[in-house]
Structure 1
Amino acid sequence: MIHTIETIVAGRKLKVEYGKVGMLSDCAIFMSYGETVVLVNTNASEKPRDGIDFFPLSVEYEEKLYAVGKIPGGFIKREARPSERAILTARGIDRPLRPLFPKGYKNDVQIVCTVLSVEQDNSPEILAMNGASLALCISSIPFTDAVATVSVGLVDGKFILSPTADERKVSVMKLTVCATKDNVTMIEASGDEIAEDVMIAAIDFAFEACKKIVAFQEEAVAKFGKKKNIPEFKKIDETLESEVRKFSFDMVKTAMYIMDKDERNVMVDQIKAKISAEFDEKYADKKSDIGEIFYNIQKEIVRNMMLNENRRPDGRAFDEVRPISCEVGILPRTHGTGLFTRGLTQVMGVATLGALKEAQILDGISDEDTKRYMHHYNFPAYSVGETKPMRGPGRREIGHGALAEKAVEPLLPSVEEFPYSIRVVSEVLSSNGSTSQASVSASILALLDAGVPIKRPAAGIAMGLITNDDLSKEKVITDIQGIEDFFGDMDFKVAGTVNGITAIQVDTKLHGLSNYCIKTAIIDAKKARLHIIGKMNECIAAPRSEMSKYAPRMYVLNVAPDKIRDVIGKGGATIKKIIAETGVKIDTSDDGKIVIMSNDGVSANRAVEIIEQLTKSVKVGEIYLGKVTKIAAFGAFVEILPNKEGLVHISKLDFERVNKVEDIVSVGDEILVKVMEIDNQGRVNLSRRDAMKDSENEKKENEKKLNE
């Protein structure tokens, strides 16, 4: 039986069809918004997975290029690994849903969102996030709290719900909010220095819109939701828990109150060894339970210390930022470098400038096809003192890089001001809390060191949260370190400048965040951000006036658009010849802009000279020094500009009558000629006689002036 339910969101129809497709999935739905369609499938294993200490949820967001009428590029004409945008969307679906599953649920759960049709006005990402929540709620999987997701733009000072493609282009803010009917569960934002009060108001606006979509999901569940399975939870033996707590609690408390991270970790390892020696033989089949008890004791002690004793593990005030140091120019051959250290968190940013044609080409379902600014984030195992195989970037690395990219991108100069592609790589050298936000500062330092004229510096900070069981107490924490992130309830990252916010990313382990928490985190983050920017300004306050001698220089020419073909030549022959002759890189665009890139000024100037000659227009009345290219009985053909020839009729070769053209000129001769006419077919008529006459008159005039 096919079930259908519809509603209107921002003037467009949101529709769900259940029972039409995917009959063997626990739940499969077609969800459409306008002409954007996403298929969502959810399934779970029958039994929990043994021996794990995490919830095995996997989310896949599948972009099918047929959804936008494209055939995949490259040699293999099928979709391969997920795009960066698809990976970020999958993370965005996972984060608000994961905390809402029953605590201790260990069944494998998979959510697959497949994009089938895309209307650019209606975001498939937002639709997939709503579809994932609804499919889980309809399914037999024990998930009951509907989560709605909305996007909000800011155009001419007004909030726009679910902005269209044209509205997104002019919006100064991109905000995504996920929420249950009671609380906000996730926030993603980027913006052009949005004031804190505006951002708070936008989140409130989004939350109200989410409530209506939650009600729509709840209506669908009431009409055709399945009966929920009762989850199996593994229970820890009460006797075992009592014995481990009695044996280790005081030792763990002593360890957790050590302020130095390394000393604390050494003592924790010693306690683990003692617990193992005491209980492993007696409870040989319950080692994982012992580990869980030990974790819970640590968590209880740290949270009580912060919430009830007003004390942080390292002794800082709750709004205090760890010590900061900044350094630039530490690598001699790169275009720009910045080393940013906050406590035991350290990131090195390295900036590289390149030609515009080196921008990243995007082959996806969005209407964006290139990316000029690229931010890549690397998190090697040595940054946390561990060892593991070095492989490509995972979802976390891609997500952190994208967050820093969003934070920095609004501050970059336009292509007209600075015609470069820009890549920044953040190398995490040491990690103890919020490396993604440290990479924002490191990137800014590197860009300033590279001489990139950014609008102003930016910095980021991660805010944390500690609550009690009934949420009657809340402590918002500035600049969380590893232990506070591990045992805390929230990771609220805010980046921006002295003028406002450029990026936000919020994750929580709770069922949602209170209004108080969101506002406090945003306001306290500004205070911390300004402090960090002040420290950065002490190191480098403005872009360097001179770029590195190893950075390429740009030379920009603007010519008539119809002249671009003269620069490129047939089959690209002309531009290839210029590049081969001068060794420069050249980018051309249809609007007439030509960008020449070279580290050698002489070569660049030669390329400029050639292109100027190629694109120069022939004007009637002007005199040119041309080269004879061909002789005919009726006159001589003369090249006056590259690829531009004219005819000197035999009657215009000299003052006297000319019997044979060869009596006056030969092929290869350079002669002065004057443009007499350009006919309606574009043919150029030249005169050597008139050019000589004008030159003689000019000579006489100059002699007269000298005699006077």
Structure 2
Amino acid sequence: MSHIYDVEVGGKQLIIETGRLATQANGSITVAIGETVVLVTAVANPGPREDIDFFPLTIDFEERLYAVGKIPGAFMRREGRPSTDAVLAGRMTDRALRPLFPKGFRNDVQIIVTVLSADMEHDPDVLGTIGASAALSISNIPFEGPVSAVLVGHVNGEYVLYPTYSQLQESQLDLVVSSTREKVIMVEAGAQGVSEAIFLEAVRLAHEANQKLIEVQDGMVREIGKPKMEIKTKAVDPAVEAAVAEYFAGRDADILSAVTDERQSGMGERVAELKARYADEFSDSALKTAVDSLAKKLLRNSILRDGKRADGRAVDELRPITCDVGILPRTHGTGLFQRGETQVLSVVTLGPMSMQQKLDTLSPAEKKRFMHHYNFPPFSVGEARRLGGTGRREIGHGALGERALEPVIPPESEFPYTIRIVSEVLGSNGSTSQGSICAATMALMDAGVPIKEPVAGVAMGLITGEGDEYKILTDIAGVEDFFGDMDFKVAGTEGGITAVQADFKIHGLTMPQIEEIVGRARTARLVILGKLNEAISVPRKELSRYAPRMYRIQIPREKIGVVIGPGGKMVRSIIEETKCTVDVEDDGSIFVGSTNEENARRAIAIIEGLTREAVVGQTYTGRVTRTVDFGAFVEIMPGKEGLVRIGELADYHVPSVEDVVKVGDEITVMVLEIDNLGRINLSRRAILEGTTPEDLDEEHPGEIPSPMTRRTSTLTPMRSPRPPMQGGQGGFRRGPRPGGGGGPPRGGGGGNRGGPNGGAPRGPRPPMGR
């Protein structure tokens, strides 16, 4: 039996339905807003998985291209591996739900979010979180929810709930907040450097809006909810805990010192001691669990009681920071950032606009010119393991850095490059994602990318005690992330926030706690920005000599087809001949890229020649491309030919065209006229006789079309280390036209002319033709 629930939030109508689709799942929900519909299913295995010390939760976000009426472009015409957007949506839902499952629950739980319909206006990501919470709440799966999620924008100074994609394009904020009844349990945001005040007010509004959807889910549980299954957990053997406590009695400092090592080699040695002593009494896993529990207790007590962390820092103290740039010789830009034992090397590569990433997802975006990729090799934590494909964690951390940096990337009109950053984690002991943001900022400036201002990031932690007792930690190390209650990452500039990602192991934070965390994160961020500034304060004025130079020219839109040619033939020939990249935009902008200036000059000259109009009375030097009985065809500009009739080849009688010119010869000619079909009539004789444009006007008053003014292309070399190529308005200019000049004026009207040396008079002109 189908049950439908309507709720209005921020002027948007959400429809939640259950009982109609996927009825064999433990819980099944569809959520719709506008014409975007997602199906969310939750399924749990009946029994726990043995010999694991974590909760096996899997959340898959499935994008179906039929949702937007597309057939996949892959060879098999099927959807392939999840897109980056799908991975990020699944991770976001995971962070909102994972803290609300009971401790010790070890049954496999799988949540699948399938986008059935997408209107290209409403983001389905938040609907997945709402549907997952509702599906879990009405199912028999143990879950301490419900939760809800709200998307918040800030458009023209106003907060907007569940903004459309078009509104997000104008928004200063893209914020998702998940809440329980009392607290905020997940925050994820991208922003254009908004103030902390704007960000906090948006979180508060989202938390309030979430309560409506939580009330709906509470009503669903009362009406159709199932009894929860019993949880089978393994209690820790008190004898093991007692044996471990006795063995390490009086060695608190030793334990704390051991856990500060990210490789946990110190703890491994101590566990080995225990195994040797109690091998016959307790299992290895029981001993390890008991040691971890003891270390966690000691670390948390030290922070709560004494305000001292395992590495000796105060709660608001940053680890030592070192920064460096330009450390690799052939790359376009590099930045090395080290904070404690965390070390990240970021490398920038600049490419032409044709190297943009093409997207085939459910959002309106089709291309992406800025990318940040994050790699976490096993040697960064002293491990040896098989290298595989990019994992979800690496995709997520790369996307977080990309989101933090994107607001300061110059627009395409100012810097027409595709920009790729790769952040290599060389050493890890917490906050590697924020370290990658800092390293990437320096790499961008080292590469000469004119970013608006530097960006830095810091990860904040939390240790909670009994009651309302808690301590906020600045710049958490790996062990504090592992044994702590929160990882609250904040990135931004001196002016404001550009990205936030927060996830918790507890049931959320109150608004006063969030305000305190954001304030302390700003204080730390300003210190880190100062360190970056010491290494490099402004972007370099010159690009690396190994980076391509991009030049921008503008042509009339109606000439785009001329440059591209039939089936792309012309643009391919330009690329092949000049070894440059040529990218043509719909507005007539053309970007030419090359590491060789002469090649770029040649490519631009060809494009200008293709788009330039011949002018009556102007002289050109061109190559004879073919001869016919009645004249010779001359290419006066790339791709543009005119006809020199046999009578116009010389200032004397010419019996045969090939007596004067042959194919491949270069000759200087003057444009006599351009007919209504655009055909060009040329004369070599006019050059020999010294004819001027004024003579043509006198000879044919009212016959010759008005001269077509040459449209000068605008060439803008983008941050070239060398002086820009000379040319009017930035465009290349030819040298002085050969020929022309003085000479006796032409006599007569439109009749036959005799040459100045007594040559034979010409007969009447034949009609122009090819």
Normalised by the length of structure 2, the TM-score is 0.86
Higher mean alpha-carbon deviation, 447-456 vs 691-700, is at 691-700
Normalised by the length of structure 1, the TM-score is 0.93
The RMSD of aligned alpha carbons is 2.4
Match of 1:410 among 407, 415, 418: 407
| 1:36 paired residue number | 36
| 1:684 paired residue number | 680
- Whichever residue aligns with residue 304 of structure 1, its letter is N
Task: Indicate yes or no: 2:389 matched with 1:392.
Answer: yes
- Whichever residue aligns with residue 327 of structure 1, its letter is D
Task: Indicate yes or no: 2:21 matched with 1:24.
Answer: no
Task: Indicate yes or no: 2:132 matched with 1:136.
Answer: no
Distance 1:575 1:151 in 2: 44
| 1:441 paired residue number | 438
Question: Cα distance 1:659–1:277, how it changes in 2: closer, same or farther (>3 A)?
Answer: closer
Distance 2:569 2:377 in 1: 46
Match of 1:574 among 562, 570, 577: 570
Question: Cα distance 1:620–1:700, how it changes in 2: closer, same or farther (>3 A)?
Answer: closer
Task: Indicate yes or no: 2:540 matched with 1:541.
Answer: no
Distance 1:638 1:547 in 2: 41
Distance 2:259 2:95 in 1: 31
Query: Quick check: 1:330–1:338 contact (8 Å CA) kept in 2?
Result: yes
Tell me the secondary structure at the aligned position of residue 436 of structure 1.
helix
Match of 1:372 among 369, 374, 379: 369
Q: Deviations 1:6-63 (Å, cap 9, x if unpaired)?
A: 1223333211221112121111222211111111111111111121110111111111
Tell me the secondary structure at the aligned position of residue 308 of structure 1.
helix
Task: Indicate yes or no: 2:494 matched with 1:498.
Answer: yes
Query: Quick check: 2:174–2:191 contact (8 Å CA) kept in 1?
Result: yes
Q: CA deviation at 1:673?
A: 3.7
Query: Quick check: 1:259–1:314 contact (8 Å CA) kept in 2?
Result: no
| 1:706 paired residue number | none
Higher mean alpha-carbon deviation, 585-594 vs 536-545, is at 585-594
| 2:312 paired residue number | 315
| 2:728 paired residue number | none
Q: Deviations 1:108-164 (Å, cap 9, x if unpaired)?
A: 111011111101211111111111111100111111411111111111111111111
Superposed counterparts of 1:39-54, under 5 Å:
39-54=39-54
Match of 2:327 among 330, 343, 346: 330
Distance 2:449 2:21 in 1: 52
| 1:94 paired residue number | 94
Distance 1:595 1:263 in 2: 48
Question: Cα distance 1:263–1:19, how it changes in 2: closer, same or farther (>3 A)?
Answer: closer
Q: CA deviation at 1:457?
A: 1.0
Distance 1:530 1:266 in 2: 34
Q: CA deviation at 1:259?
A: 8.5
Tell me the secondary structure at the aligned position of residue 115 of structure 2.
strand
Higher-Rg structure is 2
Question: Cα distance 1:633–1:20, how it changes in 2: closer, same or farther (>3 A)?
Answer: same
- Whichever residue aligns with residue 324 of structure 1, its letter is I
Tell me the secondary structure at the aligned position of residue 312 of structure 2.
coil
Match of 1:479 among 475, 478, 488: 475
Q: CA deviation at 1:655?
A: 6.8
Task: Indicate yes or no: 2:464 matched with 1:467.
Answer: yes
Superposed counterparts of 1:254-293, under 5 Å:
254-258=253-257, 261-262=260-261, 265=264, 267-284=266-283, 287-293=284-290
Distance 1:665 1:188 in 2: 73
Superposed counterparts of 1:114-263, under 5 Å:
114-251=114-251, 253-258=252-257, 261-262=260-261
Superposed counterparts of 1:655-694, under 5 Å:
668-688=664-684, 690=686, 692-694=689-691
- Whichever residue aligns with residue 257 of structure 2, its letter is I
Question: Cα distance 1:701–1:658, how it changes in 2: closer, same or farther (>3 A)?
Answer: closer
Q: Deviations 1:263-314 (Å, cap 9, x if unpaired)?
A: 9955533432333234331234xx4333322222211111111112211112
Q: Deviations 1:603-647 (Å, cap 9, x if unpaired)?
A: 221222222212212233433334444555655544322222334
| 2:611 paired residue number | 615
| 1:528 paired residue number | 524
| 1:556 paired residue number | 552
Query: Quick check: 2:99–2:507 contact (8 Å CA) kept in 1?
Result: yes
Higher mean alpha-carbon deviation, 634-643 vs 425-434, is at 634-643
Q: Deviations 1:534-569 (Å, cap 9, x if unpaired)?
A: 111111111122222211111222111222222222
- Whichever residue aligns with residue 282 of structure 1, its letter is E
Query: Quick check: 2:137–2:221 contact (8 Å CA) kept in 1?
Result: yes
Query: Quick check: 2:18–2:28 contact (8 Å CA) kept in 1?
Result: yes
Query: Quick check: 1:648–1:687 contact (8 Å CA) kept in 2?
Result: yes
Structure 1: 5+ residue stretches without partners? 703-708
Query: Quick check: 1:248–1:275 contact (8 Å CA) kept in 2?
Result: no
Tell me the secondary structure at the aligned position of residue 235 of structure 1.
coil
Distance 1:26 1:416 in 2: 52
- Whichever residue aligns with residue 154 of structure 1, its letter is H
Query: Quick check: 2:552–2:592 contact (8 Å CA) kept in 1?
Result: yes
Question: Cα distance 1:189–1:312, how it changes in 2: closer, same or farther (>3 A)?
Answer: same
Structure 2: 5+ residue stretches without partners? 696-739, 745-770
Question: Cα distance 1:635–1:241, how it changes in 2: closer, same or farther (>3 A)?
Answer: closer
Question: Cα distance 1:261–1:690, how it changes in 2: closer, same or farther (>3 A)?
Answer: same
Task: Report how many residues are paired.
Answer: 698
Higher mean alpha-carbon deviation, 214-223 vs 367-376, is at 214-223
Question: Cα distance 1:560–1:293, how it changes in 2: closer, same or farther (>3 A)?
Answer: same
Higher mean alpha-carbon deviation, 670-679 vs 21-30, is at 670-679
| 2:294 paired residue number | 297
Distance 1:119 1:305 in 2: 53
Match of 2:506 among 507, 510, 521: 510
Tell me the secondary structure at the aligned position of residue 258 of structure 1.
helix
Distance 2:674 2:53 in 1: 83
Query: Quick check: 2:262–2:428 contact (8 Å CA) kept in 1?
Result: no
| 2:357 paired residue number | 360
Query: Quick check: 2:262–2:429 contact (8 Å CA) kept in 1?
Result: no
- Whichever residue aligns with residue 324 of structure 2, its letter is E
| 2:711 paired residue number | none
Question: Cα distance 1:551–1:667, how it changes in 2: closer, same or farther (>3 A)?
Answer: closer
Distance 2:741 2:243 in 1: 112
- Whichever residue aligns with residue 314 of structure 1, its letter is D
Distance 1:694 1:205 in 2: 79
| 1:705 paired residue number | none
Structure with a larger share of its residues in helix: 1
